Amino acid sequence: MRIQQISVTGLFGIFDHVIPLNMDERITIIHGPNGFGKTVMLRMLDALFNSHYLVFWTIPFTSFRVKFDNDSSLDIMANSDKSDKSKIINNITFSFYDPNSKKVYVLLNKTTKYLDNEDHQSQDYSNLLARLAKDYEEDIKSLKASEAKSQQESEWLENLKNNIHIRFIESQRLLNSISDGASRLDSRSSSMSPTVSTYSNELAQLIKSKLAEYGTTSQSLDRTFPARVLQQRPSLDLTDEKLRHQLNELEETRSRLIEVGLLDKDENSDFQIEPQAIDESTKNILSVYVEDVEKKLSVFNEIASKIDLLRRIINNKFAYSYKQMNFNKEKGFVFKTLYYPLSSNKETLSSTDLSSGEQHELVLLYELLFKVQPGSLVLIDEPELSLHVGWQSQFLKDLQEITKLVSIDILMATHSPDIIQDRWDLTVELKGLPK
Protein backbone atom coordinates (compact mmCIF):
# COMPACT_ATOMS: atom_id res chain seq x y z
CA MET A 1 0.00 0.00 0.00
CA ARG A 2 1.34 3.44 -0.99
CA ILE A 3 0.27 6.97 -0.14
CA GLN A 4 -1.42 8.57 -3.12
CA GLN A 5 -2.38 12.02 -1.81
CA ILE A 6 -2.24 14.18 1.31
CA SER A 7 -4.39 17.20 2.06
CA VAL A 8 -5.06 19.66 4.87
CA THR A 9 -7.82 22.16 5.62
CA GLY A 10 -7.65 25.12 7.94
CA LEU A 11 -3.87 25.03 8.30
CA PHE A 12 -2.92 27.98 10.57
CA GLY A 13 -6.61 28.84 10.24
CA ILE A 14 -5.88 30.00 6.66
CA PHE A 15 -4.72 27.43 4.12
CA ASP A 16 -6.28 24.46 2.33
CA HIS A 17 -3.71 22.35 0.45
CA VAL A 18 -3.97 19.22 -1.69
CA ILE A 19 -0.80 17.34 -2.69
CA PRO A 20 -1.16 14.41 -5.12
CA LEU A 21 1.96 12.24 -5.21
CA ASN A 22 3.60 11.23 -8.46
CA MET A 23 3.02 7.46 -8.38
CA ASP A 24 4.88 6.66 -11.62
CA GLU A 25 8.18 8.54 -11.28
CA ARG A 26 8.01 8.32 -7.45
CA ILE A 27 9.27 11.87 -6.88
CA THR A 28 7.00 14.76 -5.86
CA ILE A 29 8.25 18.29 -5.22
CA ILE A 30 6.22 20.86 -3.29
CA HIS A 31 7.06 24.55 -3.47
CA GLY A 32 5.52 27.83 -2.42
CA PRO A 33 6.18 31.00 -0.38
CA ASN A 34 7.52 30.88 3.16
CA GLY A 35 4.85 30.35 5.80
CA PHE A 36 2.45 28.42 3.55
CA GLY A 37 3.08 25.13 5.40
CA LYS A 38 5.44 23.06 3.25
CA THR A 39 7.55 21.83 6.17
CA VAL A 40 4.52 21.56 8.46
CA MET A 41 2.74 19.15 6.11
CA LEU A 42 5.82 16.94 5.99
CA ARG A 43 6.00 17.06 9.77
CA MET A 44 2.33 16.13 10.17
CA LEU A 45 2.73 13.14 7.85
CA ASP A 46 5.80 11.99 9.77
CA ALA A 47 4.00 12.50 13.10
CA LEU A 48 1.04 10.40 11.99
CA PHE A 49 2.97 7.29 10.99
CA ASN A 50 5.72 7.52 13.61
CA SER A 51 3.37 8.15 16.55
CA HIS A 52 4.52 11.69 17.41
CA TYR A 53 0.92 12.73 18.06
CA LEU A 54 1.85 15.77 20.12
CA VAL A 55 2.56 17.54 16.83
CA PHE A 56 -1.18 17.69 16.13
CA TRP A 57 -1.67 19.81 19.25
CA THR A 58 1.06 22.28 18.31
CA ILE A 59 -0.18 23.10 14.79
CA PRO A 60 -3.52 24.85 14.13
CA PHE A 61 -5.52 22.85 11.58
CA THR A 62 -9.04 21.56 10.98
CA SER A 63 -8.45 18.29 9.16
CA PHE A 64 -5.61 16.29 7.64
CA ARG A 65 -6.26 13.48 5.17
CA VAL A 66 -4.07 10.73 3.73
CA LYS A 67 -5.40 8.80 0.71
CA PHE A 68 -3.91 5.45 -0.30
CA ASP A 69 -3.65 3.72 -3.65
CA ASN A 70 -6.24 1.07 -2.64
CA ASP A 71 -9.00 3.72 -2.27
CA SER A 72 -8.81 3.76 1.53
CA SER A 73 -8.14 6.96 3.48
CA LEU A 74 -7.18 8.16 6.95
CA ASP A 75 -8.60 11.40 8.38
CA ILE A 76 -7.34 13.35 11.39
CA MET A 77 -9.85 15.86 12.75
CA ALA A 78 -9.05 18.53 15.34
CA ASN A 79 -12.15 18.98 17.48
CA SER A 80 -12.65 22.11 19.57
CA ASP A 81 -15.44 24.03 21.23
CA LYS A 82 -16.44 26.55 18.57
CA SER A 83 -18.00 28.80 21.19
CA ASP A 84 -14.65 29.07 23.00
CA LYS A 85 -12.48 31.88 21.59
CA SER A 86 -9.32 30.63 23.33
CA LYS A 87 -8.57 28.16 20.50
CA ILE A 88 -8.55 25.07 22.69
CA ILE A 89 -8.55 21.60 21.07
CA ASN A 90 -10.63 19.20 23.12
CA ASN A 91 -9.64 16.05 21.24
CA ILE A 92 -8.36 14.67 17.96
CA THR A 93 -10.11 11.94 15.99
CA PHE A 94 -8.34 9.44 13.74
CA SER A 95 -10.79 7.88 11.27
CA PHE A 96 -10.00 5.16 8.75
CA TYR A 97 -12.22 4.39 5.78
CA ASP A 98 -11.85 1.27 3.65
CA PRO A 99 -14.45 0.65 0.91
CA ASN A 100 -14.38 -3.05 1.80
CA SER A 101 -15.10 -2.62 5.50
CA LYS A 102 -16.84 -0.30 7.92
CA LYS A 103 -15.35 3.01 9.04
CA VAL A 104 -13.34 2.84 12.26
CA TYR A 105 -11.90 5.56 14.44
CA VAL A 106 -9.92 6.31 17.60
CA LEU A 107 -10.12 9.38 19.82
CA LEU A 108 -7.17 11.05 21.56
CA ASN A 109 -8.07 13.39 24.41
CA LYS A 110 -5.99 16.34 25.54
CA THR A 111 -6.60 20.00 26.31
CA THR A 112 -3.79 22.30 25.26
CA LYS A 113 -3.93 25.93 24.20
CA TYR A 114 -2.34 26.78 20.89
CA LEU A 115 0.85 28.78 21.05
CA ASP A 116 0.95 32.13 19.29
CA ASN A 117 0.53 31.96 15.53
CA GLU A 118 4.01 33.41 15.13
CA ASP A 119 5.44 30.45 17.05
CA HIS A 120 3.58 27.96 14.86
CA GLN A 121 5.25 29.31 11.76
CA SER A 122 8.68 29.47 13.41
CA GLN A 123 11.43 27.60 11.56
CA ASP A 124 13.07 26.69 14.88
CA TYR A 125 10.66 23.86 15.60
CA SER A 126 12.98 22.02 18.00
CA ASN A 127 13.05 25.04 20.32
CA LEU A 128 9.27 25.35 20.06
CA LEU A 129 8.80 21.75 21.17
CA ALA A 130 11.39 22.09 23.93
CA ARG A 131 9.51 25.10 25.32
CA LEU A 132 6.22 23.22 24.95
CA ALA A 133 7.71 20.28 26.85
CA LYS A 134 8.80 22.59 29.64
CA ASP A 135 5.51 24.48 29.87
CA TYR A 136 3.21 21.47 29.59
CA GLU A 137 5.30 18.65 31.03
CA GLU A 138 2.46 17.03 32.96
CA ASP A 139 0.10 17.30 29.99
CA ILE A 140 2.67 15.55 27.77
CA LYS A 141 2.96 12.66 30.21
CA SER A 142 -0.81 12.38 30.18
CA LEU A 143 -0.90 12.46 26.39
CA LYS A 144 1.76 9.74 26.05
CA ALA A 145 -0.25 7.51 28.37
CA SER A 146 -3.33 8.21 26.26
CA GLU A 147 -1.37 7.37 23.09
CA ALA A 148 -0.20 4.05 24.49
CA LYS A 149 -3.73 3.10 25.52
CA SER A 150 -5.16 4.15 22.18
CA GLN A 151 -2.62 2.08 20.26
CA GLN A 152 -3.45 -1.00 22.30
CA GLU A 153 -7.16 -0.53 21.73
CA SER A 154 -6.88 0.31 18.01
CA GLU A 155 -5.32 -2.59 16.14
CA TRP A 156 -6.33 -1.11 12.81
CA LEU A 157 -4.23 2.01 13.44
CA GLU A 158 -1.22 -0.05 14.47
CA ASN A 159 -1.54 -2.28 11.40
CA LEU A 160 -1.82 0.74 9.13
CA LYS A 161 1.34 2.29 10.55
CA ASN A 162 3.18 -1.02 10.17
CA ASN A 163 2.32 -1.07 6.46
CA ILE A 164 3.37 2.51 5.73
CA HIS A 165 7.00 3.45 6.39
CA ILE A 166 7.90 7.13 6.59
CA ARG A 167 11.32 8.67 7.11
CA PHE A 168 11.67 12.42 7.57
CA ILE A 169 15.00 14.02 6.64
CA GLU A 170 14.72 17.42 8.28
CA SER A 171 16.53 20.63 7.37
CA GLN A 172 18.61 20.38 10.55
CA ARG A 173 20.53 17.25 9.62
CA LEU A 174 24.18 17.97 10.41
CA LEU A 175 23.79 17.22 14.12
CA ASN A 176 22.52 13.93 15.43
CA SER A 177 20.69 13.69 18.74
CA ILE A 178 22.03 11.16 21.25
CA SER A 179 19.17 10.69 23.69
CA ASP A 180 19.63 9.51 27.25
CA GLY A 181 16.30 7.71 27.05
CA ALA A 182 14.03 10.63 27.97
CA SER A 183 11.45 12.22 25.71
CA ARG A 184 12.61 13.09 22.18
CA LEU A 185 10.76 16.40 22.60
CA ASP A 186 12.98 17.64 25.41
CA SER A 187 16.33 18.79 24.03
CA ARG A 188 17.63 19.17 27.58
CA SER A 189 17.86 15.37 27.85
CA SER A 190 19.93 14.89 24.69
CA SER A 191 23.44 15.61 23.52
CA MET A 192 24.38 16.27 19.91
CA SER A 193 27.12 14.83 17.71
CA PRO A 194 28.08 15.42 14.05
CA THR A 195 25.83 13.27 11.88
CA VAL A 196 28.64 12.49 9.41
CA SER A 197 30.67 10.95 12.24
CA THR A 198 27.70 8.91 13.44
CA TYR A 199 26.97 7.60 9.95
CA SER A 200 30.63 6.84 9.30
CA ASN A 201 30.70 4.64 12.41
CA GLU A 202 27.39 3.02 11.40
CA LEU A 203 28.76 2.13 7.98
CA ALA A 204 31.92 0.64 9.51
CA GLN A 205 29.74 -1.62 11.67
CA LEU A 206 27.61 -2.57 8.67
CA ILE A 207 30.70 -3.52 6.66
CA LYS A 208 32.00 -5.60 9.58
CA SER A 209 28.68 -7.41 9.88
CA LYS A 210 28.75 -8.26 6.17
CA LEU A 211 32.34 -9.50 6.47
CA ALA A 212 31.27 -11.70 9.38
CA GLU A 213 28.41 -13.08 7.28
CA TYR A 214 30.86 -13.64 4.43
CA GLY A 215 33.16 -15.54 6.79
CA THR A 216 30.35 -17.73 8.12
CA THR A 217 29.15 -18.54 4.59
CA SER A 218 32.71 -19.32 3.48
CA GLN A 219 33.34 -21.68 6.40
CA SER A 220 30.12 -23.55 5.75
CA LEU A 221 30.81 -23.99 2.03
CA ASP A 222 34.51 -24.83 2.48
CA ARG A 223 33.68 -27.54 5.02
CA THR A 224 31.45 -29.39 2.56
CA PHE A 225 33.45 -28.59 -0.58
CA PRO A 226 35.22 -31.99 -0.97
CA ALA A 227 31.99 -33.97 -0.57
CA ARG A 228 30.16 -31.80 -3.10
CA VAL A 229 33.00 -32.13 -5.63
CA LEU A 230 32.78 -35.93 -5.40
CA GLN A 231 29.01 -35.79 -5.85
CA GLN A 232 29.18 -33.38 -8.80
CA ARG A 233 28.21 -34.94 -12.12
CA PRO A 234 29.71 -33.75 -15.42
CA SER A 235 27.63 -31.13 -17.22
CA LEU A 236 27.50 -31.17 -20.99
CA ASP A 237 26.38 -27.54 -21.01
CA LEU A 238 29.50 -26.30 -19.21
CA THR A 239 32.07 -25.64 -21.93
CA ASP A 240 35.65 -24.51 -21.37
CA GLU A 241 34.74 -21.09 -22.77
CA LYS A 242 31.76 -20.71 -20.43
CA LEU A 243 33.86 -21.72 -17.44
CA ARG A 244 36.56 -19.18 -18.33
CA HIS A 245 33.87 -16.52 -18.64
CA GLN A 246 32.47 -17.37 -15.20
CA LEU A 247 35.92 -17.22 -13.63
CA ASN A 248 36.61 -13.85 -15.24
CA GLU A 249 33.29 -12.50 -13.97
CA LEU A 250 34.18 -13.60 -10.45
CA GLU A 251 37.50 -11.79 -10.70
CA GLU A 252 35.76 -8.63 -11.89
CA THR A 253 33.30 -8.85 -8.99
CA ARG A 254 36.12 -9.35 -6.52
CA SER A 255 37.97 -6.34 -7.99
CA ARG A 256 34.88 -4.15 -7.56
CA LEU A 257 34.51 -5.24 -3.93
CA ILE A 258 38.17 -4.43 -3.30
CA GLU A 259 37.72 -1.04 -4.95
CA VAL A 260 34.83 -0.04 -2.67
CA GLY A 261 36.59 -1.30 0.45
CA LEU A 262 34.63 -4.47 1.16
CA LEU A 263 37.51 -6.91 0.53
CA ASP A 264 41.25 -6.61 1.08
CA LYS A 265 43.54 -6.74 -1.93
CA ASP A 266 45.31 -9.91 -0.85
CA GLU A 267 42.15 -11.94 -0.26
CA ASN A 268 41.10 -14.81 -2.52
CA SER A 269 44.25 -14.69 -4.64
CA ASP A 270 43.24 -18.10 -6.05
CA PHE A 271 40.75 -16.21 -8.22
CA GLN A 272 43.60 -15.67 -10.66
CA ILE A 273 42.97 -18.98 -12.42
CA GLU A 274 43.46 -18.89 -16.16
CA PRO A 275 42.58 -22.39 -17.42
CA GLN A 276 44.16 -23.57 -20.61
CA ALA A 277 43.10 -27.14 -21.31
CA ILE A 278 40.58 -28.42 -18.75
CA ASP A 279 39.86 -32.08 -18.30
CA GLU A 280 36.51 -33.33 -16.99
CA SER A 281 37.76 -33.86 -13.44
CA THR A 282 39.16 -30.33 -13.19
CA LYS A 283 35.99 -28.95 -14.77
CA ASN A 284 33.87 -30.56 -12.06
CA ILE A 285 36.06 -29.06 -9.34
CA LEU A 286 35.98 -25.60 -10.90
CA SER A 287 32.22 -25.67 -11.46
CA VAL A 288 31.64 -26.29 -7.73
CA TYR A 289 34.23 -23.63 -6.94
CA VAL A 290 32.42 -21.07 -9.11
CA GLU A 291 29.06 -21.80 -7.47
CA ASP A 292 30.61 -21.46 -4.01
CA VAL A 293 32.35 -18.17 -4.71
CA GLU A 294 29.19 -16.72 -6.25
CA LYS A 295 27.32 -17.57 -3.02
CA LYS A 296 30.08 -16.09 -0.88
CA LEU A 297 30.27 -12.81 -2.80
CA SER A 298 26.48 -12.48 -3.06
CA VAL A 299 26.54 -11.49 0.63
CA PHE A 300 27.89 -8.12 -0.54
CA ASN A 301 25.49 -7.51 -3.44
CA GLU A 302 23.20 -4.99 -1.77
CA ILE A 303 25.76 -3.03 0.23
CA ALA A 304 28.21 -2.97 -2.69
CA SER A 305 25.61 -1.44 -5.03
CA LYS A 306 24.77 1.25 -2.48
CA ILE A 307 28.39 2.07 -1.65
CA ASP A 308 29.30 2.17 -5.34
CA LEU A 309 26.51 4.66 -6.12
CA LEU A 310 27.27 6.80 -3.06
CA ARG A 311 30.99 6.83 -3.91
CA ARG A 312 30.36 7.76 -7.53
CA ILE A 313 27.97 10.64 -6.74
CA ILE A 314 30.09 12.04 -3.91
CA ASN A 315 33.42 11.85 -5.72
CA ASN A 316 31.92 13.49 -8.78
CA LYS A 317 31.02 16.49 -6.60
CA PHE A 318 34.01 16.47 -4.24
CA ALA A 319 36.42 16.52 -7.19
CA TYR A 320 35.87 20.29 -7.41
CA SER A 321 37.43 20.74 -3.97
CA TYR A 322 40.17 18.16 -4.62
CA LYS A 323 38.75 15.61 -2.18
CA GLN A 324 38.04 11.92 -2.58
CA MET A 325 35.98 9.47 -0.53
CA ASN A 326 36.58 5.75 -0.03
CA PHE A 327 35.43 3.21 2.55
CA ASN A 328 36.87 0.65 4.93
CA LYS A 329 35.74 -1.61 7.75
CA GLU A 330 37.57 0.35 10.45
CA LYS A 331 36.43 3.93 9.78
CA GLY A 332 33.49 3.70 7.39
CA PHE A 333 34.02 6.90 5.39
CA VAL A 334 37.64 7.62 4.45
CA PHE A 335 38.49 11.02 2.99
CA LYS A 336 41.70 12.35 1.54
CA THR A 337 42.68 15.58 -0.13
CA LEU A 338 44.25 15.35 -3.57
CA TYR A 339 46.01 18.68 -3.10
CA TYR A 340 47.71 20.09 -0.04
CA PRO A 341 50.55 22.62 0.53
CA LEU A 342 54.11 21.34 0.67
CA SER A 343 54.34 22.69 4.20
CA SER A 344 51.58 20.31 5.32
CA ASN A 345 51.67 16.54 5.45
CA LYS A 346 47.95 16.20 6.10
CA GLU A 347 46.57 14.06 3.31
CA THR A 348 43.72 12.33 5.15
CA LEU A 349 40.68 14.22 6.40
CA SER A 350 38.11 13.47 9.07
CA SER A 351 34.39 13.60 8.29
CA THR A 352 34.06 16.85 10.23
CA ASP A 353 36.76 18.49 8.06
CA LEU A 354 34.22 18.59 5.22
CA SER A 355 32.44 21.83 4.44
CA SER A 356 28.83 22.39 5.47
CA GLY A 357 27.63 21.76 1.93
CA GLU A 358 29.68 18.58 1.61
CA GLN A 359 28.31 17.28 4.90
CA HIS A 360 24.73 18.11 3.85
CA GLU A 361 25.17 16.21 0.58
CA LEU A 362 26.79 13.18 2.23
CA VAL A 363 24.25 12.95 5.07
CA LEU A 364 21.31 13.26 2.69
CA LEU A 365 22.59 10.61 0.27
CA TYR A 366 23.55 8.23 3.09
CA GLU A 367 20.07 8.57 4.60
CA LEU A 368 18.43 7.70 1.30
CA LEU A 369 20.68 4.72 0.58
CA PHE A 370 21.26 3.19 4.00
CA LYS A 371 18.62 4.41 6.47
CA VAL A 372 15.46 3.73 4.50
CA GLN A 373 13.80 0.39 3.87
CA PRO A 374 12.41 -0.42 0.39
CA GLY A 375 8.87 0.81 -0.22
CA SER A 376 9.18 3.75 2.18
CA LEU A 377 8.05 7.30 1.57
CA VAL A 378 10.95 9.64 2.33
CA LEU A 379 10.20 13.25 3.26
CA ILE A 380 13.01 15.73 2.53
CA ASP A 381 12.92 19.30 3.77
CA GLU A 382 14.98 21.85 1.81
CA PRO A 383 17.48 19.55 0.04
CA GLU A 384 19.21 22.64 -1.37
CA LEU A 385 20.63 23.77 1.99
CA SER A 386 24.32 24.79 1.70
CA LEU A 387 24.57 23.25 -1.77
CA HIS A 388 26.26 25.04 -4.67
CA VAL A 389 24.00 25.78 -7.65
CA GLY A 390 25.83 23.15 -9.71
CA TRP A 391 25.12 20.50 -7.09
CA GLN A 392 21.49 21.56 -6.88
CA SER A 393 21.04 21.19 -10.63
CA GLN A 394 22.37 17.61 -10.45
CA PHE A 395 20.38 16.63 -7.37
CA LEU A 396 17.21 15.43 -9.11
CA LYS A 397 19.16 13.15 -11.46
CA ASP A 398 21.04 11.67 -8.49
CA LEU A 399 17.72 11.19 -6.72
CA GLN A 400 16.26 9.32 -9.67
CA GLU A 401 19.18 6.88 -9.63
CA ILE A 402 18.71 6.29 -5.93
CA THR A 403 14.95 5.71 -6.11
CA LYS A 404 15.49 3.05 -8.78
CA LEU A 405 18.17 1.28 -6.74
CA VAL A 406 16.40 1.22 -3.36
CA SER A 407 12.75 1.43 -4.53
CA ILE A 408 11.44 4.36 -2.49
CA ASP A 409 9.07 7.29 -2.97
CA ILE A 410 10.19 10.88 -2.35
CA LEU A 411 8.18 13.90 -1.22
CA MET A 412 10.35 16.98 -0.82
CA ALA A 413 9.82 20.66 -0.09
CA THR A 414 12.10 23.19 -1.75
CA HIS A 415 12.48 26.88 -2.59
CA SER A 416 15.08 26.20 -5.28
CA PRO A 417 14.27 26.30 -9.01
CA ASP A 418 17.76 24.85 -9.54
CA ILE A 419 16.61 21.65 -7.81
CA ILE A 420 13.52 21.46 -10.02
CA GLN A 421 15.32 22.31 -13.30
CA ASP A 422 12.89 21.56 -16.16
CA ARG A 423 10.86 18.99 -14.21
CA TRP A 424 7.93 21.21 -13.25
CA ASP A 425 5.69 18.24 -14.07
CA LEU A 426 6.85 16.73 -10.75
CA THR A 427 5.88 19.80 -8.72
CA VAL A 428 2.85 20.86 -6.66
CA GLU A 429 2.55 24.54 -5.78
CA LEU A 430 1.04 25.51 -2.42
CA LYS A 431 -1.15 28.57 -2.88
CA GLY A 432 -2.75 31.09 -0.56
CA LEU A 433 -6.26 32.49 -0.45
CA PRO A 434 -7.71 33.90 -3.69
CA LYS A 435 -7.24 37.67 -3.93
pLDDT in the model for residue 223: 93
Domain ranges of the chain: 3-165+372-429, 198-301, 308-354
How confident is the prediction along the chain (435 residues), in pLDDT tens digits per residue?
899 999 999 999 899 999 999 999 999 999 999 999 999 999 999 999 998 888 888 888 999 999 999 999 999 998 876 655 555 666 788 888 888 877 777 776 654 443 333 444 444 444 544 544 444 444 444 444 444 444 444 677 888 888 899 999 999 999 887 544 344 444 444 567 899 999 999 999 999 999 999 999 999 999 999 998 888 776 777 777 888 888 889 999 999 999 898 998 765 455 455 546 667 778 888 889 999 999 999 999 999 999 999 999 999 999 988 899 999 999 999 998 887 654 455 678 888 899 999 999 999 999 999 999 999 999 999 999 999 899 999 999 999 999 999 999 999 999 999 999 999 999 999 998 876
Beta carbons of 283 and 232 less than 8 angstroms apart: no
134-to-128, 137, 141 alpha-carbon distances in Å: 10, 5, 12
22 and 28 Cβ atoms separated by less than 8 Å: yes
The answer to whether 286 and 275 are in contact (CB under 8 A) is yes
User: The pTM is what?
Assistant: 0.82
CA-based nearest residue to 188, from 123, 126, 144, 136: 126
The pLDDT score that the predictor gives to residue 384 is 94
pLDDT the model gives residue 58: 82
Give the C-alpha separation, 371 to 177, whole Å. Answer: 16
**The predicted structure's pLDDT at residue 377:** 97
pLDDT of residue 127: 54
